Structure 1
C-alpha cells in the first residue's frame, strides 16, 4: 500500500479537487494515493493527510465521528487529530486571542438574532461579516451592509460576527505557508471588484508575494499558540485600520497550499512529509 494517503471530497465532489490531486501526485510520486474522507481508513498507510477533504463542513457530525474513529484506531493523521478537532471550529480564534495573537475582532452568537447585529454594529461598525463557526470556502458567509437584517439562512443559528476589514478590497488577504515548522512562501489573494471573498470560485485571484513586514511574526505566534505542532499550515491575515496585520484564519486541515507559488515548487513540503515518514534514529 502507498505510504501517503490524501483524503479528498466525498461523493459530492469539488471542481478543483482533480487539479490539486494532479499537482500532489506530480510532487510526491507513486507513493501517494487518494480516497474520499468518508471512506473507512485503516492503519496501513504511513501517513494520512486530509488535504483535499473539502466540504466536510457540510457534514459536521460525520466529520466529528470520522475524527473520533481515526483517533481510536490509531490512524497516523497529519496534522494530529486533536489539533484538527480544535481547528474545525473557528472559535479557536478566541483561544488564540487569549494568548496574545492579534486576530480580527470577533463575537459569537449562539443563535443569531437582530439584537446580536445591533450589539455587533455598536462594537465593530455598520458593515459586518457573519459566518458559521464550522465553515469553509466562504460557505454560509454573508456581508451585511448598514441596516441589513439577519439573513434567513442564518437566523437562530450559531454564527461568528466580525467587522468587514476594508483592506480586503484595497490590498487583499495575505497567506503564509509553513511546512515542518519552516516558512515556505506567501501569496496575496484579492477579490473581484465589489466582492469581499477571495476564493477562486467567486472570482478571486492569487499573486505570488513577499511576506509583508510583521506577517511572519503573526503567523509564528499563531502556530506557537495552537495546541500541537502542525506539519503543514496556512495562515491567513489582513491589515487592520491601524496598519497592523490581524489573523483571519489558521488553516490546519485542508488548506489549498498554492505550491505553484513556492520558489522551490513544493520541495519543502515534500521533504517535511518524507522527514515524518523516516524512522527515528
Structure 2
C-alpha cells in the first residue's frame, strides 16, 4: 500500500473525526498517517496526501488558501489536485458549471448582501422563499432560509453571499448524493432534513438512506463531474460527490459538487468502499 497521509480538521473542530478515521484505516490500512491541515508538518515524505477530513477549512479561508499555495509550491502529490481544491473551495464554481451547460439550482451572487438584493432575487426567481449561503462554506455554516421582507441576520448582512430560490423538494423528497471514485459510479444516498428544517447535515438532525438512482440523476452527475474536469484541465477526479435535487418541474439540478472533504457514506455502498480503496491504490 502506498504511504498515505489523510489531512484532518483542526484539533478544536467540534465534530468527532474518530469514526471517519476508523473507516479510512479499515479501507487503506492501519499504517496510514493523519495530520491536521493547520499544522501538518513535512508532507513530502508521503507518496499521496488526501484532504478527506479537512472539515471546517472554511472557517479560516485565508489560512486554507495559503496552505493550498504551499502544497502547490512543494509539489505535494495531492488527490484531488490543488487546482481542483482551490476552485471547489468557492461555490461560485456553480456559475462556471452553468456556463458549461450544467443544470444548477439557480444562483446569483451578492457582493454585499442587502435587503434590495433579496428583493431582486425574489423577483428574478419568482419566489418569496430564498436560501443564502457564503461562497466559501461547509456544513451549512452561515446558511439561512429567508422569506421576502425578513430582516437579514447580522452575521451575513453586508457580506458576499450566494442567493438561491428555496427548493421545496428538499423537504418533500430529499437531496440525492451520488459518489464516484476514479470516474466510476459507486453508490447513492438520499438525505433528508429534520422536520421543519432544510439542512440535511446529520449534526443538525438530518438523516440519510441508501437509494437507487432515479432517472436523470446519474446523467447529471456524470455531466457535472466531466464538466469540472474539462474546465480545470485535470485528469479524472479520484473522488467526487455530486449533490442534487429536483426543481418544481421535476428536473434534477446540481446543488454542489463536493471535491474536497465530502462524507462518503461507505456504509451505503454495496462494496463497503472497496472501489474507493482500489482507486486510491491505483492513483
TM-score range normalised by the length of the shorter chain: over 0.9
- Conserved? CA contact 1:111–1:159, under 8 Å: yes
- Conserved? CA contact 1:2–1:31, under 8 Å: no
Cα shift at 1:147: 2.1
Return the alpha-carbon distance in structure 2 between the equivalents of residues 79 and 41 of structure 1: 19
- Conserved? CA contact 1:235–1:249, under 8 Å: yes
Aligned match of 1:238:
245
Aligned match of 1:171:
173
> What secondary structure is seen at the aligned counterpart in 2 of 1:50?
strand
Aligned match of 2:113:
112
- Conserved? CA contact 1:2–1:33, under 8 Å: no
Normalised by the size of structure 1, how large is the TM-score?
0.96
Alignment size in residue pairs: 276
Return the alpha-carbon distance in structure 1 between the equivalents of residues 177 and 246 of structure 2: 12
Q: Which sections of structure 2, spanning at least 5 residues, go unmatched?
A: none
Return the alpha-carbon distance in structure 2 between the equivalents of residues 31 and 272 of structure 1: 18
Aligned match of 1:70:
71
- Conserved? CA contact 2:4–2:49, under 8 Å: yes
> What secondary structure is seen at the aligned counterpart in 2 of 1:89?
coil
Aligned match of 1:268:
275
Q: Which sections of structure 1, spanning at least 5 residues, go unmatched?
A: 277-281
Aligned match of 1:15:
15
- Conserved? CA contact 1:133–1:160, under 8 Å: yes
Normalised by the size of structure 2, how large is the TM-score?
0.95
> What secondary structure is seen at the aligned counterpart in 1 of 2:67?
helix
- Conserved? CA contact 1:129–1:143, under 8 Å: yes
Aligned match of 2:131:
129
- Conserved? CA contact 1:41–1:70, under 8 Å: no
How do 1:1-281 and structure 2 match up within 5 A? 3-39=3-39, 40-124=41-125, 125-226=127-228, 227=232, 228=234, 229-276=236-283
Cα shift at 1:2: 7.0
Return the alpha-carbon distance in structure 1 between the equivalents of residues 5 and 200 of structure 2: 29
Greater mean alpha carbon deviation, residues 25-34 or residues 132-141: 25-34
CA displacement, residues 58-97 of structure 1 (integer Å, 9 cap, x when unaligned): 0100000000000000111100000110000000000000
- Conserved? CA contact 1:107–1:160, under 8 Å: yes
Cα shift at 1:117: 0.5
The list of structure 1 runs, each at least 4 consecutive aligned residues, that deviate by more than 3 angstroms after superposition, is none
